[in-house]
Structures are given as structure tokens and as C-alpha cells.
Amino acid sequence: METVKETELPFIRKTVENMLSVDVDLGTYYLQLQKHQKIAFLAERLYGLRIIREADPYECLIKTIIGQQMNLSFAATLVRRLVETVSTPLLFEGTAYYPFPSPEEIASLSYEQLTQLQFSRRKAEYVIDLSRKTAEGGLKFDDLDRKRNEEIMERLLPERGVGRWTVECFLLFGLGRTDLLPAADIGLRNAVKKWYGLKEQPTEADIRRMGADWTPWSSYFTFYLWESLNQPDLMPAIPDPTEP
């Protein structure tokens, strides 16, 4: 077990601030949100809520791959098992913290080691193969923050185990992009159906049409609508459009 050094604290503080999106001024977003009558209440009910970014883009991509087509609870369990199996804990003020493993650490694992942790064989291959490519320099993350969303899509989509949903989550929670509209996402479509009082679930094309004027805050419109499904007790009652 290693101990956190005093000289490392400024870097840790900056990382935490980035994770909490403290640099994002939501004032103009709330002004824009209040113009949308059906969901304007989100500005008050979720005031101050910011997108929580992952500490590192590589970490975000691996966690997103692990979470594909899986409930959040079990995905978190798999991540915890991976971290505790591979990482050396850091001691800070008497508490042990497990950092996310480096690409080199995960690359050194075998597929069987992950399947023993209840990873599917295919997901074990995705996680380890991508980590090996990253460790060998074939996939770089240090310049992605300077690239447009479309360029990042082009770079990551060819990777095995990476689809459009994965890249969209990466852009949101890895790079903190504020104007991303994951129109095919089932959670977003469910939320729009509920709060807009639609009889049928909107299609991807419907979401893109309805969300055309969410820019430049499409990510936050999406994030608040997602969160509204997680906190139904905070929301006003809306009549069921299927009822006579």
C-alpha cells in the first residue's frame, strides 16, 4: 500500500474539480431550459446538478464498455472487482483508496482472470484487447480533447466492442462535451415520452427534431431528462396520454 504525497494533492484537487465540472457555468443553460414549457421544471428541481466526469478518458472508455447492456449495479460490481484485483491501494488519512488500473496493468491480465470475476468472455476480450492496444501506443487519448465529436467517432468506432452509444457516453462522461445529443438512447426517449405526454415512444429522428433547439446544451438537456427518471418523486404529476 502506498501513501499519498503532499506534492500530489494539487493534481488530485484539479482532477476532482474537473470530475465535478466546476468550470461549467449553467446560467445560460437554465435560461434556455425555461423556454421549454414541458420540462422547464427541471431547472428548479435539479438546480446545480452537473455532469460528473470520469477522472481519465481511458478509464471512462473501459467503464463504459463494461457497462454495455448491463444494469448499473452489476456494472459497478464488475468495475470494483477489476480495480481491487489489479490496483495497489493508496492510503490517505488512514483510508485506503483504489485507483483505476493503468492500461499496462489491465493489459497484463488474461481473459480467464476476468471471466473468473464474472465478466463475459467477449467483454473480457474487449477490455483487455483495448488496454493492450493503448499500452502499446496504438490508441492514444491525450489529444482527443482537442478534436471534434465526429473525429472522435471516426477514431473509436473501429475498435472492437465500441459502438455509437459507447462513444456518446465517452464524449459525455469522459470529455465533458456539453452539446451532445444521443438521440437513439432508450432512456432519453423514455423521458421525452413521459414529460412531453406522448402516446408513443419517440424515434431517434423525433428526438433529433425536438432537440434541435437544445444546442449548445444538448448534453445537459439529456442529462437532466435522464436524471428525472431516477428521481420521479421530485417531478410533477403529468396526465397519462393513454387515458381517456
Domains present along the chain, CATH in parentheses = 2-51+180-234 (1.10.1670.40), 57-170 (1.10.340.30)
Cite the DSSP H helix spans in 20-97: 27-33, 41-45, 57-66, 72-86
Q: What is the per-residue pLDDT for 207? A: 96
Q: Using one digit for the tens of pLDDT, what is the confidence trace for 90-126?
A: 887 788 888 899 999 999 999 999 999 999 999 999 9
105-143 residues labelled b (16+ CB within 10 A) or e (exposed): bbbebebebbeeeebeeebbbbbbebbbbbbeeebebee
Q: Which residue has the higher pLDDT, 244 or 165?
A: 165
| Peptide bond before residue 216 is cis, with ω within 30 degrees of 0 | yes
Please choose, from the candidates 149, 179, 188, 159, the residue with its C-alpha nearest in 3D space to the C-alpha of residue 32: 179
CB 1 within 8 A of CB 89: yes
And the C-alpha cell for 43?
431547472
CB 236 within 8 A of CB 41: yes
Q: What is the per-residue pLDDT for 6? A: 75
Q: What is the per-residue pLDDT for 234? A: 63
Q: Using one digit for the tens of pLDDT, what is the confidence trace for 51-103?
A: 999 989 999 999 999 999 888 899 999 999 999 999 888 887 788 888 899 99
Give the pLDDT mean for 167-175: 95
Q: Using one digit for the tens of pLDDT, what is the confidence trace for 174-229?
A: 999 999 999 999 999 999 999 999 999 999 999 999 999 999 999 999 999 999 98
- Alpha carbon distance 241, 199 (integer Å): 6
And the C-alpha cell for 125?
476480450
Active site residue 142: no
Q: What is the per-residue pLDDT for 235? A: 56
Q: Using one digit for the tens of pLDDT, what is the confidence trace for 10-38?
A: 877 888 888 889 999 999 999 999 999 99
**Has residue 5 got a pLDDT over 90?**
no
CB 18 within 8 A of CB 107: no
Q: Using one digit for the tens of pLDDT, what is the confidence trace for 123-147?
A: 999 999 999 999 999 999 988 989 9
Q: What is the per-residue pLDDT for 236? A: 55
Q: Which residues of the chain form beta strands (DSSP E)?
A: 2-3, 90-92, 95-97
**Has residue 39 got a pLDDT over 50?**
yes
Mean pLDDT for the chain overall: 90
Residues in the chain: 244
Which of the following is catalytic: 56, 129, 143, 185? 185
